[in-house]
Structure 1
Amino acid sequence: MMIFALIMLVIWLVFLMIGYGFYALSPWVISLFIGINLLSFIITWYDKRIATQNQTSAQTQRNRISEKTLYLYALIGGWPAAIIAQQYFRHKTQKNAFKYRFWLSIVINIVLTLGISYLYLLYTL
């Protein structure tokens, strides 16, 4: 599954470079996507860290990152890094309800991105 995650990341990076090279995608937009992905990776790591600490120490239970937050980051474009973080840290890889909603947010992100790109190209040509 880690290979699949890396392939998804490479495809995502290729699309960003195509957007930058052929369609004059602003470097600010690319920086925003990279920043969102870094945050997505960090919050997935942090949630796994807190989950592990909560299992080992019953005295100090800390609040975890909400699943809705993880879905939101996937929806706004942080899904490539989230997939890699999930596989690398083995976090939420067994929870089917989470996986279905997570992948649904990825599909929605891709459909919205393609739709917005299509409309942009349609009205700028």
Structure 2
Amino acid sequence: MIIAYIISVNIIGFLMMGLDKRKAKKQTYRIPERTFWGLAILGGAVGILAGMKQFRHKTKHRSFTAGIPLLIIIQAALIVWLSFMS
């Protein structure tokens, strides 16, 4: 159940990065950065990072280039810690 959630939220994050890049090129209404951060915090950081790399999007935003990998490390450490605690 939890694996399906993590996969889903990462796919959504990845696709939203692509959608926002397309919107940026067309200069239309954009997806707010807080939406990406919310998805990343809820477990979609890997999908967001993959979308950043694939679509070359948000790569000049220091908060994303440093923050998303840091969040992945924190979440991985949390997963490892929780797995040892149970």
Bin for the TM-score computed over the shorter chain: 0.7 to 0.9
Matches for 1:55-70 after TM superposition, within 5 Å: 61-62=28-29, 64-70=30-36
User: Any runs of at least 4 consecutive aligned residues in structure 1 with deviations exceeding 4 A, and if so which?
Assistant: none
CA shift, 1:97, in A, is 3.0
TM-score, with structure 1 as normaliser = 0.59
Counterparts of 1:1-125 in structure 2, within 5 Å, are 28-54=1-27, 61-62=28-29, 64-120=30-86
CA contact (8 A) 2:49 2:69 kept: no
Q: How far is the alpha carbon of 1:67 from its aligned partner?
A: 1.8
Tell me which amino acid in the other structure corresponds to 1:66.
P
The alpha-carbon deviation at position 77 of structure 1 amounts to 2.2
Aligned partners of 1:37 and 1:108: how far apart in 2? 16
Within 1, Cα distance between the matches of 2:79 and 2:4? Answer: 16
1:45-84: per-residue Cα shift (whole Å, max 9, x none)? 1111111111xxxxxx41x222222122222322222222
- Unaligned residue ranges in structure 1 (runs of 5+): 1-27, 55-60, 121-125
The Cα RMSD (Å) is 1.7
Post-superposition shift, 1:106? 1.7
How many residue pairs get aligned? The number is 86
Distance 1:85 1:46 in 2: 10
Tell me if the contact between 1:76 and 1:109 (Cα under 8 Å) persists in the aligned partners: no
User: Computing the radius of gyration over CA atoms, which structure comes out larger, 1 or 2?
Assistant: 1
